[in-house]
Amino acid sequence: MSELTVENVAGHKTRDDLWVIIHGKVYDLTKYIRDHPGGADVLLDVAGTDATSAYEDVGHSEDADEIMQTYLVGTLKDATQFVRKSAVRVIQPTSLPVGESNSSSRVRKVAAAGSVAGFLSLLYYVSPRRGPSQLPHALQHIQSYLPDLHRLLPSAMTGIRLPHGGFVNGFAAAALLSAIITGVVGVKLSKLTQIDSGFTRYPPRIKSKPSPKADPHSIPGFLNPKDYKTLPLVQKDLLAPNVYRFVFQLPSATDIVGLPVGQHVAIKAVVNGQSVSRSYTPTSNNLDRGYLELVIKCYPDGLLTGQYLANLQVGEKVHFRGPKGAMKYRRNLCRKIGMIAGGTGITPMYQLIRAICEDDRDTTEISLVYANRSVGDILLREELEAFARRYPKQFRIYYMLDIAPENWRYGTGYVTPEVMAARLPKPAADTKIFLCGPPGMINAAKKGLVSLGFEAPSAVGKMTDQIFCF
């Protein structure tokens, strides 16, 4: 591996000759421009320079790190270690709660009842001129101070008649009344402050509420996000020119892949002595037990697809790792979803369409524009149209072809802003657009959507984006 200088790298900054520096290593990304998820423009902006900061800012995945090793051409002379700027954490002062709980308020009321009752009783009975009929009268005065007192005192107290006359009788009456009220207050107070535990906390024969049904797509399964695991190929079908359906068998007929909706798997292989890794979205999901299914276009000049997957035979084992990806779909993520797919870019869309339509509690409306060269290139057409027939209010599909047959009732040509405006939902806070396909088509779609009022997406797809690129 050669040692290169900044000047050496600076001379490679065109679309046909593009080098970058990342973490002290030099990569030739000329052949990767077509496959870069963020589009060619992102790479051209940093061509011939140290792109470490830009690479870290957008937060690349482990898959990206593996892909980069394929294009490594050398190391940078006198490279310095990249230091990420530390984030400043602002600690907000914690304010004390202004309000008070019902329990503490009731405790203070009960305590006040005892104090006020004792005090007023003494006032009424310390005078020899007060007669026996004054006890109920005293209680009325106490109740005017604390309306809830009648719930704290036994009803029989209102009928108590005490002897009158003299300081001693008055003081004795006050002491008696205070003792009774204090006792009642103590009982009530103990109930307020007592903490129930164990079986005493629950009434007998209580009916427990059924726990909510777990989302099947969030259950872990065969896949492991850190380590590669092998699966044998059990079926391989040619769906279209250079497009194959690969079916891999899980260890048990009851096993699931363990793939959240919208995420993908990584495949790794050694081709011509070189380790290569690429990511693909399965068309199967956690409702499909015992197997993993992928639809992949094998480009003749592709290192992994053309030289490895295209020649893969039934019985051979493939290394998988996952789940991967920024997309983690959840039920009713938004009210409407628009989709633009091209070629094998239909696979993540199909995964989402399946999950939404097969979930009775998901009310999301989906509009798909699917572009291909010819009718024979339309993948998963039977499956897509089956969903459209079964869920006409929830899923609509519109095809676009470069070469259309006679009496073709869908569109022809490019997916223009006019097609988007007519076939996709309008910009709104509860609407998202998903894109997947050839980089040229995706870049044009982004610009067209932005011109229609959608927010421009990030360089690397994030769930918060209004336009999300797989």
Which residues are annotated as catalytic?
264, 280-281, 436
Q: Which residues pair with 216 in a beta bridge?
A: none
> Is 32 flagged in the annotation as binding?
no
Q: State yes or no: 295 annotated in a binding site.
A: yes
Would you say 280 is a known binding-site residue?
yes
Q: Please name the residue that has the structure tokens 């699966």.
A: 231
Query: Are residues 456 and 446 in contact, defined by beta-carbon separation less than 8 angstroms?
Result: yes
User: Half-sphere exposure of 201 toward its Cβ, with a 13 Å CA cutoff?
Assistant: 5
Nearest to 295 by CA among 349, 339, 239: 239
Tell which residue, 68, 67, 32, has the closest CA to residue 439: 32
Is residue 202 a known part of a binding site?
no
Check whether 15 is labelled as a binding-site residue. no
Tokens at 73, concatenated? 């051409």
Could you list the residues known to form a binding site for FAD, using ranges: 278, 280, 295, 297, 347
Binding residues: 278, 280, 295, 297, 347
